Amino acid sequence: MAVYDPKSLKAEEFINDEEISETLEYAEKNKHNIALIDEILEKARPKKKGNGYVCTGLTHREASVLLACDLPEKVEEMYAVAEDIKLKYYGNRIVLFAPLYLSNYCINGCLYCPYHLKNKHIARRKLTQEEVAAEVIALQDMGHKRLAIEAGEDPVNNPIEYILDCINTIYSIKHKNGAIRRVNVNIAATTVENYRKLHDAGIGTYILFQETYHKQGYEQLHPTGPKHDYAYHTEAMDRAMEGGIDDVGLGVLFGLEMYKYEFAGLIMHAEHLEAVHGVGPHTISVPRVKPADDIDPGEFNGSISDEIFEKIAACIRLAVPYTGMIVSTRESEEVRTKMLRIGISQVSGASRTSVGGYTEKERPHDTEQFDVSDQRTLDEVVRWLMENGHIPSFCTACYREGRTGDRFMSLCKNGQILNCCHPNALMTLTEYLVDYASPETREVGYSLIEKELGKIPNQKVKDIATKNIEDIRNSNRRDFRF
Ligand code: SAM
C-alpha cells in the first residue's frame, strides 16, 4: 500500500488516499472543537512583519477541520479572516481575463464534458491561424490583455505544434492600442519536452484541473482516452515544473465527487509542489460542473450548495494565502460578488466557451463547452467590480518582469503590493477606460483612480504613476509598468 510522502513524485504517495481518509476523520471529530478551531484561525491570520505581512497558511489537516466546522459564528470568522488575508496580500485588485477556445476535437471520454469523443451531436471545430487572429482582435476590441487558451486533447488535430502556432499568432496581433500580454494555457497533461516548448513560447501559467483527486472516481469519470491515466494526470505539474514552467494553476471540478475529499487533495497537491519545487501553485481555480450538451450535472453525486462552495473558497484562502484564486463565468453575478470578498483574485469576463465564439454577433451554443451563468459584457463586469469596491486590473507585469514562481510572494511579504501591483492596476485600468469603456464606466473609473492614487505610500512611485496615467489619457503611449 502507498505511504503518504509529500516529497514523493508518485501520485499515490503525495495524494495519499489513506492520509485523506484519516484527515477527514480527524476533521469530523474536531469540527466543533472550538479551542482547536480558534487556534487554527489564529494561525491563519496575517501577522505584521516589517513593512509587510506574513501568513503561514494551514496544513491540509487544519484547513479540513475548518471546512468541516458548521458553527455559524466560526464560519463567519473564517470569512472575515479570508477577507483580511485577501486585502492585506492582494489589496482590492481583481485581475481580468478571458478564455479562448481553440479546438473542441477530443479523444477522451470524460463523462462531464460535452467534448467527449462519443458525443456525435456537437459540431467539431478547430480555429485556423486566421480565425485565431480574428478572435484575438475581437477580444482586444473588448479590452482584454490576458487570455487562457483551451483545447481538447487530440494529438492529430491539436498537436503541440498547433498550440504553439496559436500562441505565436496571439502574441503577434497588435490591433489599435491593444495587445495580448499574457497567454495562460489549459491543455491536457503532456510531456516534459512539450512543457519546455510551452515555456519557451512565453506562456504565463500552465493550468490543469485535476477534476477529482479520488483515484477510483477519476478512473470512472475518465473511462477512455489518455486522460484515463490518473498518475500521468496527477503528476503533470511536476513535469511542467521540470520543463521550466514556474507558474502552475491547480483546480478541482467541484460537483463530481465528495467535496471534503477534493479539498484535502487540493491542499495536499499545493503542499507537494512547495515541498518538491520550493514554490506552491500560482493559482487555484474553483470550477463547478455545469449543464452542457449531453451533460446533466444531476447525474453526479457530489453537487454542492452555494454556501458550501463559498466556504471552500474561504478555506482555500486561509490555507494557501499566496496563491491567486480564480472564479469563472460558470458562476452567477450573485455568487461571484460574495466570492470576491472572501479571497478571489482573478475573474473571467464576457467569456464565450465555444470555438470561434468571439467573432459571432450572437452567443453561439453549437460548439460550447458549458453554459455560462454570467453573460455580462466586459464593460458591465468592470463597472460592477468598481461599484463593489474592487480595482479591475489588466496587469501582466509580474511575469513580464520575471516575477514568476515564488518571486511574486516577496512583493507581498515586503509590503510592496501598494507600490507595485496597485499602481500597475491603476495604469492598466486607465488604458481600459480610455480605449474601450463606455462613458458611464469611464466616469466611475476616473474617480476611483483619483482616490486610489492617494493610497500609494512611496511618493516617487505615486508621482510616476500619476504622470503615466496622464500620459495614457492624453496620448497613445501604453504599457507602463513597475
Ligand atoms: N482538455 C484539457 C483537459 O482535459 O485538461 C483542458 C481543457 S477543458 C476545455 C477545461 C476544463 O473545463 C476541464 O478541465 C474541466 O474541468 C472543465 N469542464 C469540462 N466540462 C465541464 C462542464 N460540463 N462544466 C464545467 N466545467 C467543465
CA 113 to ligand 1 center in whole angstroms:
6
Q: Tell me, what's the pLDDT at 408?
A: 75
pLDDT digits (tens, 9 = 90+) for 54-109: 899 999 999 999 999 999 999 999 999 999 999 988 899 999 999 999 999 999 99
295 lines ligand 1 (CB under 6 A): yes
pLDDT tens, residue by residue, 155-177: 999 999 999 999 999 999 999 99
**CA-nearest residue, atom 25 of ligand 1:** 289
Under 8 Å CB-to-CB from 427, ≥6 apart: which residues?
395, 465, 468, 469, 472, 480, 481
- Specify the pLDDT at position 417: 82
pLDDT tens profile 242-298: 999 999 999 999 999 899 999 999 999 999 999 999 999 999 999 999 999 989 988
The predicted structure's pLDDT at residue 367: 82
Residue 336 has pLDDT above 80, yes or no: yes
413 has pLDDT over 90: no
| CA 115 to centroid of ligand 1, rounded, Å | 9
Cβ of residue 396 lying under 6 Å from some atom of ligand 1: no
Question: Could you tell which of 369, 373, 374 is best to mutate to test the pocket of ligand 1, judged by most ligand atoms within 8 Å of the CB?
Answer: 369
Report field, pTM of the whole predicted structure over 0.95: yes
Ligand 1 atom closest to the CA of 290, numbered from 1 = 24
Q: What is the pLDDT of residue 331?
A: 94
Which of 150, 211, 253 to mutate to test ligand 1, by most ligand atoms within 8 A of the CB atom? 253
Q: What is the per-residue pLDDT for 42? A: 98
Indicate whether residue 207 lines ligand 1 (CB < 6 A).
Answer: no
Amino acid at position 169, single letter? T
What the block records as the C-alpha cell of 183 is 497567454
Q: pLDDT > 70: what percent of the chain?
A: 100
pLDDT beyond 80 at 412:
no
Q: What is the mean pLDDT of residues 211-233?
A: 98
Q: Tell the residue number behind the cell numbers 494526470, with chain if given.
A: 233
pLDDT digits (tens, 9 = 90+) for 30-47: 999 999 999 999 999 999
pLDDT at 341 over 90: yes
Q: What is the pLDDT of residue 52?
A: 83
The atom of ligand 1 lying closest to the CA of 153 is 1
